Amino acid sequence: MEVIKTAIEGVVIIEPRLFKDARGYFFESFSQREFDEKVGHVEFVQDNESMSSYGVMRGLHFQRPPYTQSKLVRCVRGAVLDVAVDIRKGSPTYGKHVAVELTEDNHRQFFIPKGFAHGFAVLSDTAVFQYKCDNFYHPEADGGISILDDSLGIDWRIPTVHAILSEKDTRHPLLKDFESPFEYKNK
């Protein structure tokens, strides 16, 4: 696997080595050993999958301490624009984001460490999205910031008129009205 660094330290794009022949393709979607060597040690404990249609926007979600989560995400059918927003107080990249298109054709994965809000928008007719988490889901620790916050400067590539959001996601605060539970730890 190739690890591509982004503009925000710790947030990386992962491209697998793809082996193609007349039968189709094969790739190793996850190797704990290689992940530890190239990204860092993270023990994933839960895998999730969602299916959504064009225009669905999910996020920007996170889990509050002590139930914080790092995520390794990928799109196995269709295409999504996936986004991580730095919400660590004191971070030099606070409020900044990284966006990457994940598709069934590019097989890319996106690693989002703790201290980031995460969301995605479905760009294809439908999309099947999978993600690994390093902590179990705790509904009482749910948190979020508004996916439609213009101050974040995210081009979701979906006209707002076509955006489909859950009721919960329409109630998240804007970044300026948000008190982050995360602290930036300078390495």
What string of pLDDT tens digits covers the 187 residues of the chain?
999 999 999 999 999 998 999 998 898 899 999 999 999 999 999 999 999 999 999 999 999 999 999 999 999 999 999 999 999 999 999 999 999 999 999 999 999 999 999 999 999 999 999 999 999 999 999 999 999 999 999 999 999 888 999 999 999 999 999 999 999 987 6
Q: Which helix (H) or strand (E) segment is 140 a member of?
A: none
CA 26 – CA 16 distance, rounded (Å): 10
Report the pLDDT value the prediction gives residue 160, as an integer from 0 to 100. 84
Report the pLDDT value the prediction gives residue 161, as an integer from 0 to 100. 86
In the chain, the number of structural domains is 1
- Select which of 25, 61, 118, 184 is catalytic: 61
Report the pLDDT value the prediction gives residue 186, as an integer from 0 to 100. 79
CA 127 – CA 56 distance, rounded (Å): 10
Whether the Cβ atoms of residue 69 and residue 133 lie closer than 8 Å to each other:
yes
CA 67 – CA 114 distance, rounded (Å): 10
The separation between the first and the last C-alpha atoms of the chain, rounded to the nearest angstrom, is: 25
Report the pLDDT value the prediction gives residue 51, as an integer from 0 to 100. 98
SS3 89: strand
- 61 in active site: yes
Quote the domain boundaries for residue 48. 2-183
CATH for 115? 2.60.120.10
Whether the Cβ atoms of residue 55 and residue 158 lie closer than 8 Å to each other:
yes
- Select which of 67, 131, 137, 138 is catalytic: 131
Only one residue has tokens 């979020």, namely: 144
